[in-house]
Structure 1
Amino acid sequence: MTRKNLPKYVYEDRGYLRFIRRSRGQSAMINEDLGTPEFWDHYNRLIKGRDPIVVKRNFEALILSYFENDAYKKLKPRTQADYRKYISHIREIWGEKDPQKIETHHIYELHRANAERWRQANYLVQVMVVLMNHARLIGFLKKEHGNPARGIPLFKQQSEGWEPWPDDVRDEFEKVATSRARLVYELCLGTGQRIGDVLKIRWSHIKGGAYDFTQGKTDKPLWIPLTDRLEDFLETVEKKGLTVITDKDGRPVSYRTVAEEMRKVKAKMEHHDAANYVTHGLRKNATIELYQSGCDDEMVRAVTGHSGVEMLKKYGGMVRQRELATRAQDARNQFEQNKKKT
């Protein structure tokens, strides 16, 4: 829905004009050509509230209402963009349908139809939960109907997530990477953070050998001491701008720019699987190294900022289990030895 240079309360969408005045609950089509006397006559009648109020109960109206809701406006820009992507798909297939006529089996079929892309399929269901909950709030669904999108079994992740980079891939990458790609690599590995947060690191965030920031995804404030390796590497980096990672003129760079540069470096590598390892996998490398160093779950979370144990299980994988089991059995052996001495 766009405004462009249209009169107040008039919106353009897919080639037609619509008058929407939410404070009065008005929603009416304007079929007259923009700027004609007939258009202005109709527009003035709508402004004065003389046209009948018509609000269709369909997904088109539901989606429009949701985008104007505070719950959506408070989402982070990245999340808003993701929601819009999947909501646009729902809008295409069900735009004119009454939400009240959508039942659980319809959403289940939508989910199964996208089975080949399990992440997208699960996200569609999650977005439908949000939309149908909003439908209840604005009276499009009756309370007794419940939320038909809830309870649909999501596809299980088909692996343990992004693969950590093996040593041979890391060794070659370090040798052939561009200076900026290497900087991204070292920051992701050293801090254990998501690439989005790494790109926002400012020199002012690094004080006293530590990185002080707030995670973008979780809004969680973290203070993380730099590893010796990362601290030594940063001493070799020229400070061109406010952020640590910049373009040649010292300006911050976008995720897309960095992602493309990382891909190009891996495409030139001799390792035949190099392209399969994504930058986010370095967060998993960091998590595994923390467990291998003897850290427990709380210590790992203090560095990576993971929200719970389930995420740590995904990122730590079998290494986490082995390290924790080893520590547990060592403690048990020590207990037995102490018993014998008494």
Structure 2
Amino acid sequence: MRHVQRIVRPNGDVHLYFRKKGCPSHRLKAGWGTVELEAEVEALLKTYAPQKPIAGTIRAAIIEYERADLPGLAESTQYEYRLILKEFYQDLGALPASTITPAFLLKLRDAWATRGHRAANVRLQVLKNVCWRPMVAGLIQGDPFATVGQVRRPADAPEPHPIWPEGVFSTVLDAALEQRRFGLARAISIARYTGARREDIARIPRTARQNGRFSFLSGKRKVPVDIAEDPRLSAILDATPATQPLSEWQRTRTAAKRRTETTAITLAFNMDGRPYTADGLSQELEKLIQALRKAEKIDGADYGFHGLRHTRGVELALAGCTDAEGAAQLGHRSPNSFARYRRMADRVRLGEAASEKVARLQERRSS
């Protein structure tokens, strides 16, 4: 019978359980094949049947957002947002949209802030996305999100995506090459010298390199990027294999057992010569970073692909790129997105200028 699992115990007793994906399990009381069993299962199905959301509730707004707006976001963003939407569906879904007032929103923000400033700010953003349509429809008065700001990042909080010093980049690159992780070495080089996101790097095809140009589609905002290939990137890509070569062990095995060497279709590839997933790429880099940190070859374990993107952004700003030029390089849709890198570069310049002044002061004192 559908949704009924029959389990026979070692002593011969038969137990029946209600099983349906997304529903809690229940032990059934009626006997196998009886009318009472069918009625019991039918009652449980009605209990857990999805209820049509009441118009004007946050639950209805969530469903509309998932249908109309969520599919347009990057896959990694969708995954994170769906977890938060599930939380909203359970905790806030039954409330009318008019409940979202500045006072109510402030209480929510402060409660979320106990999990960390990012947890609170992401939830504020997702809830704002959900409430956009109810605000347009007049179900929510004004824009309460304009009144309640985000939670400030604590001054003592570590940088979540630290910039890579040149020495760290060289150490990680050399380690990847020594371990014959050529695809990973290519991936971190692409991130360093183009600022591409890991999701983009995982699917950039070999044809992205044409006539000294490097072109790809920025996946998050679907922005085309077409830039002159950095000579430092060219040197690394030209010096590494275009696909993962067979190991000595694989070459000694019979053809029936060894891995077949195939031509990679992407510039970055895993140890099997196949394209990385975005998560797989991050995991491979994280394992390498952790091992190097444990061996005390680098100073931290928080270096990642987004930090390489920041590194490229600050480098562009230090080189004097305008916001529009930097945005075009990094695949931003709006020049305003590049302003953060210009501010970071300004701090670097100020720090270097201060160091130079101190050095000149020491020279004058010595003379």
Normalised to the residue count of structure 2, the TM-score between the two structures is: 0.66
- Report the alpha carbon displacement of residue 306 of structure 1 after superposing the two structures with TM: 3.4
Q: Given that residues 192 and 308 in structure 2 are in contact (C-alpha distance below 8 angstroms), is that contact kept between their aligned partners in structure 1?
A: yes
- Over 3 Å counting, the alpha-carbon distance change for 1:247 and 1:54 in structure 2 is closer
SS of 2:287's equivalent in the other structure is helix
Corresponding residue for residue 266 of structure 2: 243
- Over 3 Å counting, the alpha-carbon distance change for 1:63 and 1:318 in structure 2 is closer
Q: Given that residues 288 and 320 in structure 1 are in contact (C-alpha distance below 8 angstroms), is that contact kept between their aligned partners in structure 2?
A: no
Counterpart Cα distance in 1 of 2:334 and 2:348: 19
SS of 2:301's equivalent in the other structure is helix
Counterpart Cα distance in 2 of 1:251 and 1:34: 51
- Over 3 Å counting, the alpha-carbon distance change for 1:231 and 1:246 in structure 2 is same
Corresponding residue for residue 301 of structure 1: 327
Counterpart Cα distance in 2 of 1:313 and 1:136: 29
Residue identity in the other structure for 1:273: D
Task: Give per-residue Cα distances to partners, 1:193-250, cap 9 Å, x unaligned.
Answer: 1111111110112111211222111221121111112112112222432111123333
Corresponding residue for residue 146 of structure 1: 142
Corresponding residue for residue 208 of structure 2: 205
Counterpart Cα distance in 1 of 2:160 and 2:334: 16
Q: Given that residues 173 and 266 in structure 1 are in contact (C-alpha distance below 8 angstroms), is that contact kept between their aligned partners in structure 2?
A: yes
Corresponding residue for residue 199 of structure 2: 196
- Over 3 Å counting, the alpha-carbon distance change for 1:100 and 1:209 in structure 2 is same
Corresponding residue for residue 87 of structure 1: 85
Q: Given that residues 195 and 330 in structure 2 are in contact (C-alpha distance below 8 angstroms), is that contact kept between their aligned partners in structure 1?
A: yes
Which has the higher mean CA deviation after the structures are superposed, 78-87 or 300-309? 300-309
- Over 3 Å counting, the alpha-carbon distance change for 1:75 and 1:250 in structure 2 is same
Q: Given that residues 53 and 59 in structure 2 are in contact (C-alpha distance below 8 angstroms), is that contact kept between their aligned partners in structure 1?
A: no
SS of 2:147's equivalent in the other structure is coil
Counterpart Cα distance in 1 of 2:290 and 2:109: 34
Counterpart Cα distance in 2 of 1:37 and 1:291: 67
Q: Which of 283, 299, 316 is the matching residue for 1:260?
A: 283
Q: Unpaired runs of 5+ in structure 1?
A: 5-10, 17-32, 44-52, 327-342
Counterpart Cα distance in 1 of 2:95 and 2:206: 52
- Over 3 Å counting, the alpha-carbon distance change for 1:35 and 1:234 in structure 2 is farther
Residue identity in the other structure for 1:63: I
Counterpart Cα distance in 1 of 2:228 and 2:92: 50
Task: Give per-residue Cα distances to partners, 1:20-50, cap 9 Å, x unaligned.
Answer: xxxxxxxxxxxxx99769959x99xxxxxxx
SS of 1:268's equivalent in the other structure is helix
Which has the higher mean CA deviation after the structures are superposed, 57-66 or 203-212? 57-66
Task: Say yes or no: does 1:286 pair with 2:312.
Answer: yes
Corresponding residue for residue 311 of structure 1: 337
- Over 3 Å counting, the alpha-carbon distance change for 1:92 and 1:155 in structure 2 is same
Task: Say yes or no: does 1:127 pair with 2:126.
Answer: yes
- Over 3 Å counting, the alpha-carbon distance change for 1:277 and 1:78 in structure 2 is closer
Q: Given that residues 168 and 298 in structure 2 are in contact (C-alpha distance below 8 angstroms), is that contact kept between their aligned partners in structure 1?
A: no
Residue identity in the other structure for 1:153: G
- Report the alpha carbon displacement of residue 260 of structure 1 after superposing the two structures with TM: 1.2
SS of 2:215's equivalent in the other structure is strand
Give 1:1-342 correspondences, 5 Å limit: 14=23, 55=54, 58-68=57-67, 70-115=68-113, 116-135=115-134, 142=139, 145-158=141-154, 162-177=161-176, 178=179, 179=181, 180-235=183-238, 236-239=240-243, 240-269=263-292, 270-271=296-297, 273-308=299-334, 310-320=336-346
Q: Given that residues 164 and 303 in structure 2 are in contact (C-alpha distance below 8 angstroms), is that contact kept between their aligned partners in structure 1?
A: yes
Counterpart Cα distance in 2 of 1:163 and 1:148: 33
Counterpart Cα distance in 2 of 1:129 and 1:54: 19
Counterpart Cα distance in 2 of 1:104 and 1:291: 38
Counterpart Cα distance in 1 of 2:282 and 2:269: 14
Corresponding residue for residue 335 of structure 1: none
- Report the alpha carbon displacement of residue 192 of structure 1 after superposing the two structures with TM: 1.7
- Over 3 Å counting, the alpha-carbon distance change for 1:314 and 1:56 in structure 2 is closer
- Report the alpha carbon displacement of residue 12 of structure 1 after superposing the two structures with TM: 7.5
Q: Given that residues 212 and 229 in structure 2 are in contact (C-alpha distance below 8 angstroms), is that contact kept between their aligned partners in structure 1?
A: yes
- Report the alpha carbon displacement of residue 262 of structure 1 after superposing the two structures with TM: 0.8
SS of 1:274's equivalent in the other structure is coil
Q: Given that residues 97 and 139 in structure 2 are in contact (C-alpha distance below 8 angstroms), is that contact kept between their aligned partners in structure 1?
A: no
Q: Unpaired runs of 5+ in structure 2?
A: 4-19, 26-35, 47-51, 244-262, 353-367
Corresponding residue for residue 333 of structure 1: none
Residue identity in the other structure for 1:262: L
Counterpart Cα distance in 2 of 1:276 and 1:151: 34
SS of 1:214's equivalent in the other structure is strand
Normalised to the residue count of structure 1, the TM-score between the two structures is: 0.70
- Over 3 Å counting, the alpha-carbon distance change for 1:93 and 1:286 in structure 2 is same
- Report the alpha carbon displacement of residue 316 of structure 1 after superposing the two structures with TM: 3.8
- Over 3 Å counting, the alpha-carbon distance change for 1:249 and 1:280 in structure 2 is same
Counterpart Cα distance in 2 of 1:158 and 1:54: 39
